[in-house]
Amino acid sequence: MLQDKIRSLGAYALLVGEVFKDITTRGVNRGELCRQVIKIGRDSLPVVLLTATFTGMVLALQTAYGLQRFGAKNYVGNIVGLSLVRELGPVLTALMLCGRVGAGISAEIGSMVVTEQVDAIRALGANPISKLVTPRIAAAMLAVPALVVFCTLIGIFGGQLVAVYELNQSAFTYQRALYYTIMVRDLIDALIKSAVFGFLVVSIACYHGLVTKGGTAGVGRSTTAAVVSGSIAVFISDFFVTKVLILLS
């Protein structure tokens, strides 16, 4: 069992290395890149915004409930803004993409593997990594940071709705707290983390799709493995990326 896990990690590392080699030597097909940016970014926007809105609202509500014991309810904007920018925005967006984009990519590539379409690409002299994997990974690293920006802004707006209509704060008080709390470095760190998360989610989904075996049942297993592995990778990498960014700040 352990040997299988190590072998899988090695195969995944080889796939990542081949993708980076492909990007640096042959580049990325612009047409396919644009199509994947639309699929990963624009089509995921509704579910990401819906999640961000109610996350910001419940975060403001819970924060106010805890802070009012100490007479510090006016600091709701500080906590909501910083939490969404540095942590919740990138992580929640990545998890939503695991369930939507990661599962879809794994199922799509896995279906192509079991129906021998990937073998047909190789038989025609083309590289399936260049055709199927590289554009998706590059698109994720571009689209996920943009999604995180929208997610953070909408989450902060949701928190403001609760602060104004439930906590009787003024919008000016809430926005002033954001202004004095969120720094440019926080925004840069969030974009770096979101690019890393996008890379991990999509590359893991592509890997599980390419190693699919066992017909349609195998596609289902690969899809499940892609979602679970991608989610775990997001949480683990979140700690290490945050640690590195703090050390570099």
Taking the chain (249 residues) in runs of 10, the rounded mean pLDDT of each run is 81 90 85 90 90 92 80 80 91 92 92 88 85 92 94 93 86 86 91 95 93 86 92 94 89
pLDDT value of residue 1:
67
- Which one-letter DSSP state was computed for residue 214? S
Q: Which two tokens stand for residue 232?
A: 């775990």
pLDDT value of residue 69:
73
User: Rounded CA gap, 153 and 85, in Å?
Assistant: 9
User: Rounded CA gap, 105 and 111, in Å?
Assistant: 10
**Strands, DSSP E only, in the chain?**
none
User: Rounded CA gap, 48 and 96, in Å?
Assistant: 7
Say what the pTM is: 0.91
pLDDT value of residue 137:
94
Name 73's Cβ contacts closer than 8 Å, sequence gap at least 6.
64, 67, 167, 169
- CA proximity to 177, closest of 84, 65, 75: 75
- Which one-letter DSSP state was computed for residue 115? T
- Spatial contact of 228 and 40, defined as CB atoms under 8 Å apart: no
Q: Which two tokens stand for residue 113?
A: 């593997």
